[in-house]
A and B are shown apart, each in its own frame.
Chain A
């Protein structure tokens, strides 16, 4: 299907603004080629509303991809593998080369439809099937530790001198375990479409580096990979007896 076909579907497209569904902007082509292990939901069949001449977005998309490819060897050392980059989608797999053995951790798909009138949409996907994760399936919620201002501490809580209280904030947000989670970060479509962030317009970030391909990948790498460690637990459990024949 060509973009012109997609344009014909514009009128009946679009998830509610601010919903997790807002992050789904897969092209019909992509939807047809991506195997789905789950029954298709309404959000997976949504067609993006075209607000920008695709030729303009495509040129900006190409610029992002060219810059990425120029540094591809370095990003591979970071454990990033660019699988596909065909407008409007970029598909990247994140691995953890610092682990022994190294691990394939998750995939990410960025959709640059309407870029850069709108920021890219970002989904975390199973790196093998490319099916978007549900919240309960996420290999990582992209946790980060955020310092708590002293005036936000619970009343009466006494902290040792010099201690810096922190709370964990997950960058992947969702409403229920079966929802598709979304990356809640400035420079990402779901963040700027969310009703809670109407005061933080994309246009405040658009020319400041947010929403660029490598910037978003850096955030995913930093919070999804850099702190990753192998967690190995071995338990011995007696489950019964086994008889071994004795030689006479």
Chain B
């Protein structure tokens, strides 16, 4: 059986990391791995938001396969803005 895992590039606050993603897993697993790989452990995962290259916000509760990412797709994991004002 072919390896179904796909490799995504996740840019975490400007730092790109490669993350292996299981198409059947929730996208949040990609977030967690990307944060761990980039050593961004100072903020909980819910303080980050995942977007595609067009800036669309991705629902991390959906499966990876739901988004039909192209091979080697780049996603952007950015900190949510804190409470300002």
Contact A210 B82 (CB under 8 A): yes
Interface centre among A67, A78, A186, A208 (most CB of B within 10 A): A208
Contacts A74-B53, A173-B85; A215 near B16 (Cβ below 8 A):
no
Contact A215 B85 (CB under 8 A): no
How far apart are the CA atoms of A68 and B11 in the complex, in Å? Answer: 11
How far apart are the CA atoms of A171 and B83 in the complex, in Å? Answer: 9
B81 interface residue, CB < 8 Å from A? Answer: yes
Contacts A71-B14, A208-B42, A212-B14; A187 near B82 (Cβ below 8 A):
yes
Number of A-B contacts (CB under 8 A): 65
Choose, from A30-38, A153-161, A216-224, A232-240, the stretch at the interface: A216-224
B48 to chain A, nearest CB (A): 8
Contact A212 B11 (CB under 8 A): no
Contact A215 B84 (CB under 8 A): no
B13 interface residue, CB < 8 Å from A? Answer: yes
A191 to chain B, nearest CB (A): 7
A140 interface residue, CB < 8 Å from B? Answer: no
B18 interface residue, CB < 8 Å from A? Answer: no
B65 interface residue, CB < 8 Å from A? Answer: no
Contact A208 B43 (CB under 8 A): yes
Q: Which of B29-85 contact A (CB under 8 A)?
A: 40, 42-43, 53, 55, 74, 76, 78-79, 81-85
Partner of A170, one of B16, B79, B85: B85
* Interface of B (DSSP majority class): loop
Contact B11 A74 (CB under 8 A): yes
Partner of A171, one of B13, B15, B79, B81: B81
Contact A214 B81 (CB under 8 A): no
**A187 / chain B contacts, CB cutoff of 8 Å:** 82
How far apart are the CA atoms of A67 and B13 in the complex, in Å? Answer: 10
Contact B84 A186 (CB under 8 A): yes
Contact B14 A169 (CB under 8 A): no
B27 to chain A, nearest CB (A): 19
B54 to chain A, nearest CB (A): 9
**A223 / chain B contacts, CB cutoff of 8 Å:** 81
How far apart are the CA atoms of A183 and B84 in the complex, in Å? Answer: 8
Q: Which of A51-79 contact B (CB under 8 A)?
A: 64, 67-68, 70-71, 74, 77-78
How far apart are the CA atoms of A124 and B83 in the complex, in Å? Answer: 20
Contact A71 B81 (CB under 8 A): no
> Can you spell out 29 A-B residue pairs with CB atoms less than 8 angstroms apart?
A64-B14, A70-B16, A71-B11, A74-B11, A74-B53, A77-B53, A169-B85, A170-B85, A171-B81, A171-B84, A173-B85, A183-B84, A185-B81, A186-B82, A186-B84, A187-B82, A191-B84, A205-B82, A207-B42, A208-B43, A208-B79, A209-B43, A210-B82, A212-B14, A214-B13, A214-B78, A215-B78, A222-B78, A226-B55
List 19 other contacts, CB 8 Å, given A212-B13, A218-B76.
A67-B14, A71-B11, A71-B16, A74-B11, A171-B84, A171-B85, A173-B84, A185-B81, A185-B82, A186-B83, A191-B84, A207-B42, A208-B40, A209-B42, A209-B79, A214-B14, A215-B79, A219-B81, A222-B81
The 4 closest A-B pairs by CB, nearest first: A214-B14, A208-B42, A186-B82, A185-B84
